[in-house]
Amino acid sequence: MRSSLNVAFAAAAAATLTTAAPNPDLSFRAGTIPQALPDCSNTSVNPITAGELLQATFGCLSIQPTGTNFTRNDIVNAGGNNATCKPHTLLFARGTTEDANLGNVLGPPLITALEAVFLGSDLLAVQGVNNYPAIPIEYCEGGSLTGSQNLASLIHQTHALCPSTKLIVSGYSQGAQVVHNAAQILSASDTAFISSVLLFGDPNNGYPVGSVPAKKVYVDCHVGDDICAHGDQIYEPHLSYCKDVGLAAAFALARSLV
């Protein structure tokens, strides 16, 4: 698998993955997880070049350089105080090897796009998924167990703390696996609480998101994205989803009005 996203625009070092079995703990907890294990049998080294990354992300707003560690913990830091609740809440799971807890090339631009459609940052609470290492081997296993469990807990926590907020759950690359996995272990009440799901470069493309109705789910998979085809190679189509965040934000806005 080619290394994920170095937004300092230097050539990324390639990550070599080995074939992995399904994570038994995750399968035990959620029955059918993982639904579509990626093929991690290709161990060729094929690094992303700076030029490829520049082309893929050209024109995207709010991209964060590697090492920035752009984080938001609005739900965790609320301390049970529902006075901090906002009309809309985003829970986001980043892609493999991206900086915690909102990543670099998809999470930050998505936040900017959502703030635009909701007419202000003061109307959107944001929480990244913590306790989620976002390492390559867990991608091969079907997505991080700890990240999936933490996201499910965050959904429940948000529901309890801010029952009137419109909840957006989103993930990019392995983060989309985390969303799928978390959805499998939600209660019916917490599932119904979700306003919209936004998935980008989804390794589980073609599979339902737990019991979340399909009409609430936006899946963005580019032609030529090997990750969306359950593969292990990152090419330019997997790096350019930041260009689509406006459409995804418009979908979230429309769902919030239902």
Is 173 annotated in the active site?
yes
Distance, in Å, from the CA atom of 168 to the CA atom of 188, rounded to the nearest integer, reads 17
Cis peptide before 34 (omega within 30 of 0): yes
Q: Could you tell me whether strands 194-200 and 166-172 are parallel, antiparallel, or unpaired per DSSP bridges?
A: parallel
Find the catalytic residue in 170, 195, 238, 240: 238
Those residues whose C-beta lies under 8 Å from the C-beta of residue 10, and which sit 6 or more positions away, are 50
Find the catalytic residue in 220, 225, 226, 232: 225
CA-closest candidate to residue 252, choices 115, 157, 160: 115
Those residues whose C-beta lies under 8 Å from the C-beta of residue 206, and which sit 6 or more positions away, are 36
Is 238 annotated in the active site?
yes
Is 230 annotated in the active site?
no
Find the catalytic residue in 4, 144, 170, 173: 173
Note whether 187 and 197 are within 8 A (CB): no
- Residues recognised as catalytic: 173, 225, 238
